[in-house]
Chains A and B, each alone.
Chain A
Amino acid sequence: MGAYMIRRFLLMILTLFGMSVLIFVMLRVVPGNIVDILFDSAGMVNPADKKRLEAELGLDKPIVQQYVTWITNMMKGDLGYSYVSEKPALDEILPRIPVTAKLAALALFFSVLFGVPLGVISAVRQNTGLDYFLRVVSLSGLSLPSFWLGLLILMAFVQYAGWIPIYSDAPRGFFHELFLLSIPAAAVGFRASALIMRLTRSSMLEVLRQDYIRTARAKGASANSVNYDHALRNAVLPVVTIIGIEAAFLIGGLIVTETVFNIPGVARFLVEAIRWRDYPIVQNLVMLIAVVTVVVNFIVDMAYVVLDPRIKYEG
C-alpha cells in the first residue's frame, strides 16, 4: 500500500509537469496575445508600440526562457502580474477561489444528496410509476443545457418571484450566502445529480440481482438493511468514481452558471482571462485546477480501500 501511494504520488507530479508544459504551449499556440487585444480595445495597431509593449511584458523572450521563469517563480510563490489589471496574479485569483469552491461544493452536495437516494429508490421500485417519473427527471437533467436552465431559473426567481437578487459581492453572513448560492448550485448540480442517479440505479439493479442479496433476504434481513447495508455499499463504488470525475467536470458547468448568475467566481474569471490571453492568470489557474483534479482522483483511489475492504493495492 505504501509503495503504491509513493508510486501514485510520483505519477501525480509527472502528470502536473506534463500539464504545465501543455498549458504553456497551448496558450501560445492560440493566435493573438495580450498586446493584440490591448490594441484592439483601442481600435488601433501600431507595430512599434506593440513591440515595445511585448518587450515590457517579457513576451519577446524565447518560449523556453518564459516557461522556466514561470515555473521557477511559481515554486517561490510568485505567480506574476495580471497583464490586464496590472495587479499580482495571486491577488486576482485568491479572492475568487472561495466563491467557486463554495458553489462547487454545494453543487456536489446537492447532486449526491438527490442523486444517490433517488437512484436507490428508482432501482428498488423498478418499473413503477415513480421509477418512470424519476427516469424522465434524470433524463431532462442530462439533456437541458445549464445556461438555458439557469436563465429559466433567473426569470422565475429574480424577475417574477423577486426572491433572490443577482449575486452581490458582499453577502450578509453565512446563511445569506448559502441562500444566494443555493439556486445556482442546484442549477449546476442538476446535471450531476441526474448522472449520479442513473448510475446508482443501474449499479443497484445489477447488485440487487446478485446471489448474496437473495441470501440476505432469505436470512430475513429487512428491506432497508438489504438495500442500504448490503446492496448500496457494493453498488456505490462506480458512483464514487463518477463523483470524483464530476468534481472536475463541475468547473466546466460552473463557467456557464457563474456567467448566467453573475457570480464572481474563478471559473468565469478564467474564461475572461483566456479571452484576454492573460497568460499569468490562465497558466496559474489551469495549474490549480489540474492540481485539484489530480488530488481529488488520488483521494478517490484511496477511498476505494475504505469503501471496499476487498481491494488491496499491490506494491
Chain B
Amino acid sequence: MKAIWYAAAALGLAVGVGDVATALAQKPGGTLRIYHRDTPASASLHEEATVSTQLPFMAIYNNLVVYDQQAKRNTMETIVPDLAKSWEWDATKTKLTFKLNDGVKWHDGKPFTSADVKCTFDLLLGKGKQRLRKNPRAIWHRNVEDVTVNGPLEATIVLKEPQPAYLTLLASGYTPIYPCHVSAADMRTKPVGTGPFKFVEFRGNEIIRLAKNPDYFKKGKPYVDMIEMRIIDNRSTRILAFQAGEFDMTFSQDITIPLLKDMEKQAPKAICETKPQYVHRNLIVNREAAPFDNPQIRKAMALAIDRKAFVDILTEGKGDIGGAMLPLPEGAWGMPPEELAKMAGYGGDVAANRAEGRKIMESLGYSAAKPLKVKISTRNIAIYRDPAVILIDQLKQIYMDGELEVVDTPLWHAKVARKDYQVGMNLTGVAVDDPDANMVENYACKSERNYTGYCNPEVEKLIEAQSKIVDVAERKKVVWKIEQILNDDLARPVIYHDRAATCWWPYVKGFVGHENSIYNNWRFEDVWLDK
C-alpha cells in the first residue's frame, strides 16, 4: 500500500514539475505580427458584428467569463472565469451573481468595480446616459431585467425568465465589459480595457498596434510585448508577405480551400488549420412580394438546390451541409443526417427533387419555353457572387430564369431591409454555437440583425421555449423543430457552411483556434514566440 502512495506521489511530482517546466518554457517578449484584411469600422466590440473588429481588439478587453482560450471547442463546460472569479445561479435560475477579481485596473489606471459591469449592461439595454451608435446584439440581452451591485466586487444579472444558456453569450468575445468613465465615442477610437494588451494606435488602412499591459491582473501574462496588425487589403500581397516571413500569422481563416494548396507549396513549414467558420451561405427570399409570396414557388426553389454541388465546386468538397446551426461534428446543435434528410431539398435524389420542383412549376403555368424570371441579388464580392452564379444555373432546372444583380457592398443590408429584392445570396456569421445566439439573432421578430424581417409567431414561441430548457437532448428536439419550420418557410435557407484555414509559423506557440466560432479566441494572452 505504501508503495502505491509513493508511486502516486512521484507521479504527482512529475506532473507538477512538468507543468512548471511548461510554464517556464514560455518565452516572454517579441512582437506578434499578424496581417489584417481590411480596416475595421471602429474598435468598439459592442457596436460591430465582424471578425475584422473582433480579432484586433478583443485582447484589449475582458469579459465576466470567457471561453477557455486553450480549449478547441466553445461549450458550457469550457467557460472559465475572467473578470469574475466565480459565478452562481440562484434557486429560481433568474439571478446570476458574479464575484469579481480584486485589484483589477483599467488601462488608464482607474480601478475596475462592479459599477462598470452595471454600466456595460445599461449601455447594452439602452438605459444609461451613454448611448451606442449601433447595438447589433441588443437582442442577446432581451431577457435582462436589471444588473444590481453588492459592493464593488459583486454584481448580479437579474433575468426576467430563466435562461440557462445566457452564460454562453456572456463568454463570447462580443460581450466585453466597458469602463463607466470612458465615453462610447472614445471606445470607438481610443478604447480602454482591462485586458492583456493596451491600445496604442489604429490608423485606418495602415496599422493597428497593441502593447503588453504590465499591470494585467492575470499574473505573468501576456507573453508578447506587442501585437502589430498591418492592414493589407490586397489578398495576394498579404499572402505573399506571410510566405516571405513578414508576418507570424495570417488573418482569421483568410486562406480558402483553393488557396491552401498554394500555401502548402510555398510555405510548407507553416501550420495551417482548416476549421468551420460558422459562416454559412444562405438564400434570402422576399416572401412578401410576388412571386415568392407563393409557398408553392418557394417549395419548388428549395427542391432545385443541389447543396453538394455548391460544396464540391466552391470548397473542393470540404464544406458542410446543414441547417442554420453549425453541423456535426464541431457543432453541438447540428442535425444528425437522418433528421436533416427529412427537410425539403436535403434528402433523396437531387434529380427526383428537381422533377418534383418542375411539376410544381408546371402546375403554376411555367415551362422551359415560359420560365419564371427571377433576379438574384448579391454583394459585389467573390464569396457572394460565386455561389449566386451556381444558384442561377441550378434554378434553370425548374424553369426559373435567374438574372444576377450585383449590389455595391455597403448598400447590401439597406437594400435587404427595404425588401428591394426577390432572392438574395447572403452570408451569415454566428458568434456562439448556441440557439440563444443564432436563432434569436437571425430569426427572432425583434432582432436588429434579422434584416430580412422574418417573423413567424410559431418560431418565436419555440425560440423562447428552447431558451428555458436545461436538458440538452430535449432542447435539441425543439431547435430541430425550428430548423424544420425555417426550411419550410424558406427563411434564409442554408446552402452550406464554409471551412477555411488560418496559418502561422511553428515558432508561434500557445495559440488555439476555436473550431465552432471565429469570434471568441483572440485574447492572445497565452501566445508566445519561440524565436
Interfacial residues, chain A to chain B (CB-CB below 8 A)? 31-32, 36-46, 49, 53, 82, 84-87, 92, 151, 154-155, 158-159, 162, 165-166, 169, 259-262, 264, 268-269, 272, 275-277
Contacts and interface: CB of A to CB of B under 8 A. Distances in A.
Among B40, B207, B232, max chain A CB count under 10 A is at B232
B241 interface: yes
A262 B205 CA distance: 9
Question: What's the interface size class on B, roughly?
Answer: 35 or more
B244 A264 contact: no
A32 B411 contact: yes
A155 B189 contact: no
Contacts of B451: 43-45
Contact of B134 (A42, A87, A158, A165): A42
A32 B408 contact: yes
B315 to A, nearest CB: 23
Interface of B: 39-41, 47-50, 52-53, 133-136, 185, 188-189, 202-207, 230, 232-234, 236-238, 240-241, 243-244, 246, 266, 408-414, 416-417, 448-449, 451
Contacts of B237: 151, 154, 166, 259-262
A21 B412 CA distance: 28
Contacts of A84: 39, 41, 204
Nearest to A259: B234
B205 A268 contact: yes
Contacts, number: 128
Contacts of A261: 237
B241 A44 contact: no
Q: Which 4 A-B pairs have the closest CB atoms?
A: A45-B417, A41-B41, A37-B410, A42-B136
A158 B410 contact: no
Contacts of A46: 134, 448
20 contacts: A32-B408, A32-B410, A38-B134, A39-B413, A41-B41, A41-B50, A45-B451, A82-B204, A85-B204, A159-B244, A159-B266, A166-B237, A259-B233, A259-B237, A262-B232, A262-B238, A262-B241, A264-B206, A272-B233, A275-B410
Given A85-B189, A260-B237, A268-B205, A41 B48 contact: yes
A80 to B, nearest CB: 16
Given A31-B411, A46-B134, 14 more contacts: A36-B410, A37-B410, A39-B134, A43-B413, A43-B451, A45-B413, A45-B414, A86-B185, A86-B189, A151-B240, A158-B244, A159-B243, A260-B236, A272-B233
Nearest to A31: B411
Contacts of B50: 41-43
Contact of B39 (A31, A39, A44, A272): A272
Most buried by B among A31, A41, A151, A262: A41
Contact of B414 (A32, A259, A272): A32
Interface-central residue, A32, A38, A43, by most chain B CB under 10 Å: A43
Nearest to A151: B236
Contact of A44 (B40, B136, B202, B234): B136
A165 B133 contact: no
A92 B203 CA distance: 9
A43 B427 CA distance: 10
A85 to B, nearest CB: 5
Contacts of A169: 203, 206-207
Nearest to B451: A45
B4 to A, nearest CB: 59
Contacts of B411: 31-32, 36, 40
